[in-house]
Amino acid sequence: MLDVALQFLTGQLHAHLRASLGNAEFKVMLTQMLDDTGHYAFAKDSLGLCVVNLEKDQTLRNKPPVDNGVATRSAITEPALHLNLQVLCAANFSRPDAALRCLYEVVQFFHRCSVFTQAEFPALDSRIKMMRVECQPLNMEQRNQLWACLGAKYLPSVLYQVRLEGKTILAVNETIS
């Protein structure tokens, strides 16, 4: 589900940036930050999306499964899965003004479109109830630590938290009488 959700998000952002920047060659890539040789894993004059953290959302304290069954069959309703992803959007451009323009468009896109549901986006996978994207501000020390942890030199970037809410799973179990 993670790969499908992030591919969907990458596709939506890619379509928006191609239209707003007017560049048919422009690419948005879901990638790691660096390749095996220590170079950026995404092309020059493109935007790279890199997952830097994944955690289960603990704010809701998901409830345990509930048995909704009758005498011979039981239906266990598993609680919905909530995940938080931190996704770094880094602009790898030869010209700093182009990188800043690209990041501005990214911020504009996610400001206008911060919640993704199937009602508004039919292409969203049916296993995803909702996807919410929120900007995560970093101070200079946090930004320095993040880029040091990635082992890369700083690129103009913005960090987003992507909250995924999966749909409730219903499992039917037969009981023997």
More confidently predicted of 11 and 167: 11
88 exposure class (CB count in 10 Å sphere: 0-12, 13-18, 19+): buried
170, pLDDT greater than 50: no
Strands 28-30 and 46-56: parallel
The full 3-state SS of the chain, as one line of letters, equals: CHHHHHHHHHHHHHHHHHHHHCCCCCCEEECCCECCCCCECCCCCEEEEEEEEEEECCCCCCCCCEECCCCCEEEEEECCCEEEEEEEEEEECCCHHHHHHHHHHHHHHHHHCCEECCCCCCCCCCCEEEEEEEECCCCHHHHHHHHHHHCCCCCCEEEEEEEEEECCEEEEEECCC
Residue 26: is its pLDDT beyond 90?
no
Please report how the helices 96-112 and 2-21 are oriented relative to each other, as an axis angle in degrees rounded to 10.
120
Which residue would you say has higher pLDDT here, 63 or 48?
Answer: 48
Residue 175 has pLDDT above 60, yes or no: no
Query: pLDDT tier at 67 (50, 70, 90 boundaries)?
Result: low
Query: What is the tens place of the pLDDT at every residue in 75-102?
Result: 666 667 789 999 999 999 999 999 999 9
Digit-coded pLDDT (tens) for 104-145: 999 999 999 999 999 999 999 998 999 999 999 999 999 999
How far apart CA 101 and CA 14 sit, in angstroms, is 14
pTM of the model: 0.82
